[in-house]
């Protein structure tokens, strides 16, 4: 990216998407800000083969949490369950509190200090949301790791410089 | 690279470059507003672009396309013709810049012979899906892109990702789609990355045409000793490529060749920083040449006309210890470079290895700039990979650099691959590939330990959930 902001629009390698921060993936392998929701997948603490699909809608802050087979999460009692709290915490690590809060349209997004702070500022109530869509996005996400490594040169990657330090 | 050479390089722009870029700007502006409703002024800019290529084999087709622009009735074929015109202009800009660079450095290139022919045999219907999204984007214009249009290419991209012969198109479209998704609705953005998005759109539109040669076309088989200069790392959310620049001493003597070795993997956005090296574990010899600064003996590997060595791990063995700075000092000036394939030519693709030493570096206006014999050259601080040890601070303390000469946004830059610096009165050297077999820096190791092994965690999840 050029240091001179006046040539920003004439650069071929302008950084458009801010890079995400690395985080521990064991508990919450997937978090994204997409389809108007903060959504993701949280691994069950007790059953290694089970995952929960958790989501919070931007604007209304309505939330839901269920297994990928659409069984409702037992921890939802009109407020955020532990999966949703983990989802918020990890989203804050990955994207930064302000970016998550802004996406969810939380008032005073720039003053949100932490995941717990953000969770406390969410109104909203439980509303059923499509777990299957999020889960299939997660599977697609995992699919990238199945792509074969290639040693044929990909010239187009010159437009994508490494993460900026 | 001597001070005199640097002075010569940065002393002025090649003739005609500014005019060519102005025509490109005209196209890029039209693309941001969309070809569905082009005003008089923008239509004139497209006519000017057509005028610039009138005398070329593209002339008739582009003129026909430009004639349809004022009425807003361009078809897909017309858009492809306009993309070709833009690409031809930037290809000429690439040639002018590289000629100047070669003259300054005294670098020679082996002519690549006739362009490769053949067909990569990507199924046509996959390309049709990609083209129709690209055409829709161009008709709408960036300023009209919202969440729905940004995501409208997802199915086509998913299909093309699964096709090994279309990897270049797939990683490009995937990168562009992610940027559009993140920027939606684009109308709320203060400024648009006009050149960048037009570049990505143009390349994708051309790559989505049928009849591209397969990636192995025109290769020769080479053997010899490979001496790495350094690693260039390219990364977006779902792809990473490491490109190792090296000098190849052919077995049995002969002129040394300047080559690149590439290895690329799919990934996800949360695999970033030093963790990306974990994706290349199937290439221990290549990684060892980087992390341990070793030469490699290679035996019978394909070398493409552009200078790309297609790495085959089983045909390589790690050899003796080498110092990339010594390789650059002794061999770089006499090595013969490859000639970029015609369709790949673009200023952003210029990445020529050089050694610059004996300079003074200093932080300047948010970046770092070096001064040598009165000439100044900014470091490409936007190209310091998160998977390596180079930092702006280290650049500011450096006195020697093996790097790639780049050209972007109107000027030359030096992208460091390795630097020698003085830190706390002690000489240090740092290379982009130093952490290829694991971080050697305690601070980075600690950060990595905190996040665990993201590749391992996701592979475990994939193994359990994906194949049900």
Q: What is the mean pLDDT of residues B376-389?
A: 94
CB count in 10 Å sphere of residue B102: 14
pLDDT tier at A1, thresholds 50, 70, 90? very low
Q: Say whether A87 sits in a helix, a strand or coil.
A: helix
pLDDT digits (tens, 9 = 90+) for B228-273: 999 999 999 999 999 999 999 999 999 999 999 999 999 999 999 9
* Topology of the domain comprising B220-331: OB fold (Dihydrolipoamide Acetyltransferase, E2P) (2.40.50)
pLDDT digits (tens, 9 = 90+) for B15-63: 999 999 999 999 999 999 999 989 999 999 999 999 999 999 999 999 9
pLDDT digits (tens, 9 = 90+) for A105-118: 999 999 999 999 99
CB count in 10 Å sphere of residue B184: 17
From residue B314, how far is each of B45, B297, B301, B437 by CA, in Å? 53, 11, 10, 19
Q: Which positions in chain B touch A154 (Cβ < 8 Å)?
A: 167-168, 171, 234, 239, 241, 262, 264
State the SS3 of B414-466. Answer: EEEEEEEEEECCEEEEEECCCCCCCCCCHHHHHHHHHHCCHHHHHHHHHHHHC
User: Chain A residue with minimal CA distance to B351?
Assistant: A158
A2/B408 touch (CB, cutoff 8 Å), yes or no = yes
- DSSP 8-state code for residue B146: -
| CA distance between the termini of chain B | 57
Q: Is the pLDDT of residue B171 over 90?
A: yes
From residue A61, how far is each of A51, A80, A120, B435 by CA, in Å? 22, 11, 11, 42
Rounded to an integer, what distance in angstroms lies between the CA atom of residue B264 and that of residue B245? 15
Read off the tokens for B346. 């673009």
Alpha helices per DSSP H over B208-291? 284-291
Rounded to an integer, what distance in angstroms lies between the CA atom of residue B404 and that of residue B234? 13
Q: Which positions in chain B touch A158 (Cβ < 8 Å)?
A: 234, 348-349, 351
Q: Is the pLDDT of residue B135 over 70?
A: yes
Return the pLDDT at B120: 67
Give the dihedral sign, CA B433/B436/B438/B443.
Answer: positive
A163/B344 touch (CB, cutoff 8 Å), yes or no = no
User: Chain B residue with minimal CA distance to A154?
Assistant: B168
- Of residues A104 and A2, the one with the higher pLDDT is A104
Q: Which helix (H) or strand (E) holds B223?
A: strand B220-236
Return the pLDDT at A122: 93
Return the pLDDT at A164: 64
Q: Is the pLDDT of residue A151 over 70?
A: yes
Quick check: B456 contacting A, CB < 8 Å?
no
Which of B160-174, B202-216, B319-333 comes out lowest in average pLDDT? B202-216
Kindly state the percentage of chain B with pLDDT values over 70: 98
Rounded to an integer, what distance in angstroms lies between the CA atom of residue B233 and that of residue B277? 11
Return the pLDDT at A2: 45
pLDDT tier at B345, thresholds 50, 70, 90? very high
| CA distance between the termini of chain A | 12
pLDDT tier at A6, thresholds 50, 70, 90? low
How many residues are listed for chain A in this entry?
Answer: 165
What is the ipTM for the molecules in this complex? 0.96
Q: Is the pLDDT of residue B394 over 70?
A: yes
Return the pLDDT at A3: 44
Rounded to an integer, what distance in angstroms lies between the CA atom of residue B59 and that of residue B319? 52
B348/A165 touch (CB, cutoff 8 Å), yes or no = no
Q: Which helix (H) or strand (E) holds B103?
A: helix B76-105
Of B410, B454, B462, the CB nearest to A146: B462
Of B168, B215, B234, the CB nearest to A160: B234
Rounded to an integer, what distance in angstroms lies between the CA atom of residue B465 and that of residue B258? 45
- Asked whether the beta carbons of B244 and B283 are under 8 A apart, the reply is no
Burial class (CB in 10 A: 0-12, 13-18, 19+), B252: exposed
Closest to B302 measured CA to CA, from B285, B315, B317, B286: B315
Rounded to an integer, what distance in angstroms lies between the CA atom of residue B208 and that of residue B196? 18
Of A11, A22, A154, the CB nearest to B409: A11
B153-170: string of b/e by CB count within 10 Å (b at 16+)?
A: bbebbebbbebebbbbbb
pLDDT tier at A19, thresholds 50, 70, 90? confident
What ranges do the domains of chain A cover?
21-142
Rounded to an integer, what distance in angstroms lies between the CA atom of residue B93 and that of residue B96? 5
- Which positions ≥6 away from B346 have C-beta within 8 Å? A12, B87, B90, B91, B93, B94, B199, B203
Return the pLDDT at B145: 97
Kindly state the percentage of chain B with pLDDT values over 90: 85
Q: Which positions in chain A touch B192 (Cβ < 8 Å)?
A: 9
Q: Which helix (H) or strand (E) holds A51?
A: strand A51-57
Rounded to an integer, what distance in angstroms lies between the CA atom of residue B229 and that of residue B354? 9
A152/B236 touch (CB, cutoff 8 Å), yes or no = no
Rounded to an integer, what distance in angstroms lies between the CA atom of residue B390 and that of residue A60? 44
Return the pLDDT at B373: 95
Largest pairwise CA distance in chain A: 54
pLDDT digits (tens, 9 = 90+) for A25-77: 999 999 999 989 999 999 998 888 899 999 999 999 999 999 988 899 999 88
Q: Is the pLDDT of residue A5 over 70?
A: no
Chain-wide mean pLDDT for chain B? Answer: 94
Of B387, B409, B447, the CB nearest to A7: B409
Cβ contacts from A onto B, under 8 A? 241
Q: Say whether B231 sits in a helix, a strand or coil.
A: strand
- Asked whether the beta carbons of A106 and A121 are under 8 A apart, the reply is yes
CB half-sphere exposure, B20, CA atoms < 13 A: 22
Read off the tokens for B251. 């077995």
A17/B282 touch (CB, cutoff 8 Å), yes or no = no
Backbone angles phi and psi of B241, in degrees to 5: -130, 130
pLDDT digits (tens, 9 = 90+) for B303-321: 998 999 999 999 999 999 9
């Amino acid at each position: 990216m050029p240091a001179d902001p006046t040539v920003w629009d004439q650069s071929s390698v302008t950084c458009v998407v801010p890079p995400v921060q690395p985080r521990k993936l064991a508990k919450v392998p997937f978090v994204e800000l997409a389809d108007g929701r903060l959504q993701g997948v949280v691994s069950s603490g007790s059953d290694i083969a089970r995952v929960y699909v958790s989501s919070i809608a931007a604007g209304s802050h309505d939330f839901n949490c269920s297994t990928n087979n659409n069984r409702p999460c037992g921890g939802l009692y009109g407020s955020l369950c532990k999966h949703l709290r983990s989802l918020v915490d990890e989203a804050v690590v990955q994207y930064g509190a302000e970016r998550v809060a802004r996406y969810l349209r939380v008032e005073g997004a720039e003053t949100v200090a932490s995941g717990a702070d953000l969770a406390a500022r969410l109104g909203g109530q439980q509303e059923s949301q499509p777990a299957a869509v999020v889960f299939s996005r997660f599977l697609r996400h995992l699919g990238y790791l199945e792509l074969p490594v290639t040693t044929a040169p990909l010239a187009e990657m010159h437009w994508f410089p490494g993460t900026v330090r | 690279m001597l001070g005199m050479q640097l002075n010569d390089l940065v002393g002025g722009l090649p003739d005609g470059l500014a005019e060519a870029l102005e025509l490109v700007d005209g196209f890029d502006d039209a693309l941001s507003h969309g070809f569905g409703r082009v005003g008089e002024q923008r239509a004139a800019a497209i006519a000017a672009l057509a005028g610039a290529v009138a005398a070329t084999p593209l002339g008739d087709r582009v003129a026909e396309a430009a004639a349809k622009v004022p009425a807003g009735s361009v078809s897909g074929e017309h858009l492809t013709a306009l993309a070709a015109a833009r690409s031809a202009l930037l290809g000429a800009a690439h040639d002018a810049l590289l000629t100047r660079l070669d003259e300054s450095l005294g670098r020679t290139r082996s002519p690549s012979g006739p362009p490769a022919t053949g067909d990569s045999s990507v199924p046509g219907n996959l390309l049709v899906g990609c083209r129709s999204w690209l055409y829709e984007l161009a008709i709408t214009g960036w300023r009209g892109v919202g969440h729905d249009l940004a995501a409208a290419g997802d199915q086509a991209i998913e299909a093309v990702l699964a096709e090994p012969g279309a990897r270049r198109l797939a990683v490009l479209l995937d990168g562009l789609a992610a940027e559009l998704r993140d920027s939606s609705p684009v109308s709320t953005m203060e400024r648009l990355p006009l050149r960048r998005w037009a570049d990505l759109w143009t390349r994708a539109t051309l790559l989505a045409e049928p009849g591209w040669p397969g990636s192995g076309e025109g290769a020769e088989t080479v053997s010899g000793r490979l001496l790495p200069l350094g690693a260039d790392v390219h990364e977006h959310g779902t792809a990473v490529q490491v490109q190792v620049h090296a000098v190849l001493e052919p077995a049995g003597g002969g002129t040394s060749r300047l080559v690149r070795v590439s290895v690329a993997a799919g990934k996800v956005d949360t695999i970033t920083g030093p963790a990306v090296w974990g994706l290349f574990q199937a290439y221990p010899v290549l990684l060892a040449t980087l992390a341990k600064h070793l030469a490699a003996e290679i035996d019978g590997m394909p070398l493409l006309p552009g200078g790309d060595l297609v790495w085959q791990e089983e045909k390589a063995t790690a050899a003796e210890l080498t110092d990339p700075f010594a390789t650059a000092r002794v061999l770089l000036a006499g090595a013969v470079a490859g000639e970029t394939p015609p369709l790949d030519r673009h200023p952003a693709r210029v990445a020529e290895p050089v050694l610059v030493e004996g300079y003074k570096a200093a932080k300047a206006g948010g970046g770092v700039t070096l001064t040598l014999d009165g000439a100044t050259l900014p470091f490409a601080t936007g190209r310091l990979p998160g998977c390596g040890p180079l930092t702006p601070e280290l650049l500011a303390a450096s006195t020697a650099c093996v790097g790639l000469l780049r050209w972007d946004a109107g000027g030359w830059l030096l992208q460091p691959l390795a630097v020698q610096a003085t830190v706390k009165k002690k000489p240090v050297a740092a290379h982009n590939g130093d952490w290829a077999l694991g971080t050697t820096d305690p601070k980075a190791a600690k950060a990595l330990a905190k996040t665990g092994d993201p590749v391992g965690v996701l592979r475990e999840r994939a193994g359990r959930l994906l194949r049900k």
